[in-house]
Amino acid sequence: MTAKMNASLEKSLKTVYATLEEVERYQHASRVLGFDQQTICPPLGMEEQGETSAFLSNKAFQLSKSKKFISAAEDLYANRKFLNEWDRTLAESLHRDYLRNKNITPAMDKQFSLVFNKAFVNWLKAKKAADFSIFADSLSDVRKVNLKQIALAEKAMRVPYDNLLDVYERGMTTKDLTKCFDACKERLVPMLQKIQKSKKKIRTDFLSRKVSDESQRQMAEFLLQTIGFDFKRGAFTTSEHPFTDGLAKDDCRVTTHYHEDMFASNMFSIIHEGGHALFEMNQPSENYAHHINGCKTLGQHESVSRFYENRIGRSRAFVHLIFKKCKEFFPTVFEDVSEKQFYEALNVVKPSFIRTEADEFTYTFHIMIRFEIEQMIVNGKVDIQSLPQIWNDKYEEYLGIRPSNDREGILQDVHWASGFGYFPTYSLGNMYNAMYYNRMKQEIDVEDCILHGDFGTINGWMKEYVWKYADRLNSKAWIQKITGREFTADDFLDYIEQKYGELYGI
């Protein structure tokens, strides 16, 4: 509050706070059930579990639709110049939500949640059977829900896809993304061709050696400890698709997946999700006090997870830091493998089908493909049944490979079960962290910190410059505040060209 706040505005703020505290209780319970659904819930219980979660989520939605709450929230927005920075952020966030959801009734919201829940269940069935037809009708229903949400928005943007992107990455547009991906195509496509023609041969046979789940669990725990994950405020387990959920201020949970013959998959999944968790664990306490802890964008979040996964996790310094532990946990894997061979194997460029297993170089191609298909879906320029064919054609066009079944093709990701607009944030994250890494290395010796396992210094810098303002600024303003520069893909592309040019001698 500011000195100029009058009694009426103070009353509105108290009303908003009281309502949000109740909303967050329902949301917390719903998310706990959602976490359970994706981890230990038995298959036949999933649909009912999802329905209960949707019921609780709808209760929260009903509270946010009360006339008293809306009136108070809009009063805050109209008088936001009298609020402090945190409450002003809250007022602006609630106003955006109000415009987006003004014409959506609680009954509609419940119906939408049930559509997404059924889509998730059918996606699991379809993936297991490697049969897209099981998921097709649900995906069509998800599209209808997204389009209906856009149509009901009070101030919908002219480009349909922009409305969905804005949910995850406010401030960014389809035009921004097209410019970024065009730059990626211009520089990465010819470089991929050079890499594929390179005489450099990287050994990778040991990456498919079998490792027990227990050994992988121990490695996951070690990696989380190494990067600074707080086990008093967090936990980890397994799921079909690795994810992170900041359930509460002191309850952040991450998951991974163990593949017997792909131990590195678990290593980099847990570092990635651990990065998300560090973001949640290190945001300012004021964010919770003022109910703005959910205002950060997905691109901001992905920038951090992929910063730890790639800029740190796949660096020479980090490989050196963990190599002895790798040999300790996986002795049969590393008995004839050098540290240099391990580093090169973790950075090998090899077009592959699965996004989450993709190397750092070709990962951008996976996102470009999804971005192009999502626009086709949202714009209604494609028949849902034809998507597997389109997907496979694009993989052949961009990466020179063609999926042999739907499981390794269009069904590999869970994201579309809950809507469109998420995927581009992964690539945006890479571009953001390339920019702030260049700022960071001007102020601290990042490589030396990694070599000595000094994540206190690295995380301290991230807390002050990257995590502190994320909830209060949109993406473009946030990256400019960190770096003093306008958003660009150039830092990321420069990094990629330098790293892989050196690795492959091109």
pLDDT, mean over the chain: 95
Q: Is 302 part of any known ligand binding site?
A: yes
* 187, containing H or E segment: helix 174-197
Sheet containing strand 251-256, edge to edge, reads: 234-238, 251-256, 244-248
Read off the pLDDT of each residue in 111-119 and give the average, rounded to a whole number: 95
The architecture CATH gives domain 174-504: Orthogonal Bundle (1.10)
* 146, containing H or E segment: helix 133-152
Residue 487 has pLDDT above 90, yes or no: yes
Tokens of 441: 């290395």
Read off the pLDDT of each residue in 209-238 and give the average, rounded to a whole number: 98
Helix (H, G, I), strand (E, B) or coil at 252: strand
Give the residue among 349, 388, 380, 342 at the shortest CA–CA distance from 365.
349
pLDDT, position 2: 53
Residue 205 has pLDDT above 80, yes or no: yes
Per-residue pLDDT reduced to its tens digit, 443-458: 999 999 999 999 999 9
Whole-angstrom Cα distance, residue 451 to residue 461? Answer: 17
Q: Which DSSP letter does residue 233 get?
A: S
Give the residue among 405, 491, 406, 477 at the shortest CA–CA distance from 170.
477
Residue type for 367, please? Answer: I
Beta bridge pairs of residue 238: 256
Whole-angstrom Cα distance, residue 225 to residue 455? Answer: 10
Beta bridge pairs of residue 248: 251
Q: Which DSSP letter does residue 470 get?
A: G
pLDDT, position 356: 85
Whether the CB-CB separation of 491 and 435 falls below 8 Å is answered with yes
Q: Which DSSP letter does residue 209 get?
A: S
State the SS3 of 344-389: HHHCCCCCCCCHHHCCCCCHHHHHHHHHHHHHHHHCCCCCHHHHHH
Per-residue pLDDT reduced to its tens digit, 148-202: 999 999 989 999 999 999 999 998 999 999 999 999 999 999 999 999 999 999 9
pLDDT, position 380: 86
Q: Is 95 part of any known ligand binding site?
A: no
Residue type for 120, please? Answer: F
Beta bridge pairs of residue 336: none
pTM confidence score: 0.91
Q: Is 320 part of any known ligand binding site?
A: no
Per-residue pLDDT reduced to its tens digit, 365-378: 999 999 999 999 99
DSSP 437-458: HHHHHHHS-HHHHHHTT-HHHH
Residue type for 320, please? Answer: H
Hey, which residues are catalytic here?
273
Q: Give residue limits of the domains in the chain.
A: 7-156, 174-504
Whole-angstrom Cα distance, residue 288 to residue 292? Answer: 6
Read off the pLDDT of each residue in 58-66 and give the average, rounded to a whole number: 94
Whole-angstrom Cα distance, residue 173 to residue 459? Answer: 30
Helix H segments across 259-311? 263-281, 285-289, 298-306
Residue 477 has pLDDT above 70, yes or no: yes
Greatest C-alpha distance within the chain: 74
Read off the pLDDT of each residue in 451-472 and give the average, rounded to a whole number: 98
- Residue 245's φ and ψ, nearest 5 degrees, are -140, 115
**How would you label 51-84 residue by residue, b for 16+ Cβ within 10 Å and e otherwise?**
eebbbbbbbbbbbbbeeebbebbebbbebbebbe
Read off the pLDDT of each residue in 327-345 and give the average, rounded to a whole number: 97
Whether the CB-CB separation of 449 and 441 falls below 8 Å is answered with no
* pLDDT confidence band for 240 (50 / 70 / 90): confident
Residue 3 has pLDDT above 80, yes or no: no
Per-residue pLDDT reduced to its tens digit, 315-324: 999 999 999 9
Residue 1 has pLDDT above 90, yes or no: no
